[in-house]
Structure 1
Amino acid sequence: MYTAVLIKGKTYSVMSHVFLLNQEKEIEKKVFQYLDGNDFFACKQLDVPADDLKTDDQPKEAEEEPAQEAKIYTETELKDMKKDGQEAVIVDLGGDPSEFKNESERIAFILENQQQQEKVGE
């Protein structure tokens, strides 16, 4: 069993989970592997089976690389998102969702920062 607690920001949406500040939530292994090491979360693995210890190390490292690559959202995808989803993307990009007054400002920030991160990643 795995749990995660959002310790920074107000909300965070990832893989069909919406996290609220300081609320512990039970998550799947895949979500745990994605969030473990993220400064915005405190993640725990409970009841570690002995046979799971050997298999966790290799796949986790292999899966961390793709997790580092952020999804690139189109303007249409962002407009279809709810506010908490947009705020989660802003947090992923290192922004503070409370700085934005409306959807247009959130979307503009996300699109601009995605482009900057693409250039840095090249």
Structure 2
Amino acid sequence: MYTAVLIKGKTYSVMGHVFLLNQEKEIEKKVFQYLNGNEFFDCKQLDVPDDDKPVKDEEPKEAEEEPQQEQKIYTETELKDMKKDGQEAVIVDLGGDPSEFKNEGERIAFILENQEQQEKTGE
């Protein structure tokens, strides 16, 4: 079993989960792997029986899947249809601070610009 607690920001939406500040939420292994190491979360792995420990042959398969989930590219229309919390979650995913933006236009401009830069650098 895996859990995650949002420790920075107000909300965070990822892989079908919406996290609220300081509320612990049970998550799946793939969500744990994605969020573990993110400074905005405190992630824990509980009750690790020997059967659930990854076998060395399985690790590369999991590593191959993870980048595909992270690389969601949003269009301006998709971003405009999002609520503020969703836009802020995308900003956090891109390494930004949502509190720096005064309105929806600034949030969308930041997201589009940073997505473009990441595409060019291949990150």
> When the two structures are superposed, what TM-score results if normalisation uses the length of structure 2?
0.85
Does 1:61 pair with 2:97?
A: no
**What secondary structure is seen at the aligned counterpart in 1 of 2:73?**
coil
Distance in 1 between residues matched to 2:74 and 2:20, nearest whole Å: 22
The residue that corresponds to 1:104 in the other structure is: 105
User: Following superposition of structure 1 onto structure 2, how do residues 86-101 of structure 1 map, counting pairs within 5 Å?
Assistant: 86-101=87-102
Distance in 2 between residues matched to 1:28 and 1:118, nearest whole Å: 28
Aligned residues: 121
Q: CA deviation at 1:55?
A: 4.2
Instruction: Give CA-to-partner distance per residue, 1:84-117, whole Å, 9 cap, x none.
Output: 1100000111111111122111111110111111
Contact 1:7 1:40 in 2 (8 A): yes
Distance in 2 between residues matched to 1:49 and 1:66, nearest whole Å: 28
Distance in 2 between residues matched to 1:98 and 1:110, nearest whole Å: 14
Q: CA deviation at 1:19?
A: 1.1
Pair 1:60–1:39, CA change in 2 (3 A): farther
The residue that corresponds to 1:114 in the other structure is: 115
Instruction: Give CA-to-partner distance per residue, 1:41-71, whole Å, 9 cap, x none.
Output: 111111112211034861443334434x431
Distance in 1 between residues matched to 2:64 and 2:72, nearest whole Å: 18
> When the two structures are superposed, what TM-score results if normalisation uses the length of structure 1?
0.86
The residue that corresponds to 1:28 in the other structure is: 28
Distance in 2 between residues matched to 1:81 and 1:61, nearest whole Å: 29
The residue that corresponds to 1:47 in the other structure is: 47
**Residue 76 of structure 1 aligns to which amino acid in structure 2?**
T
Aligned-pair identity in percent equals 82
**What secondary structure is seen at the aligned counterpart in 1 of 2:53?**
helix
Structure 2 residue runs without a partner (length 5+)? none
**What secondary structure is seen at the aligned counterpart in 2 of 1:111?**
helix
Instruction: Give CA-to-partner distance per residue, 1:6-51, whole Å, 9 cap, x none.
Output: 1222221101211122221111222112212222211111111221
Structure 1 residue runs without a partner (length 5+)? none
Distance in 1 between residues matched to 2:62 and 2:42, nearest whole Å: 17
Distance in 1 between residues matched to 2:43 and 2:8, nearest whole Å: 13
Deviates more, 1:58-67 or 1:98-107: 58-67
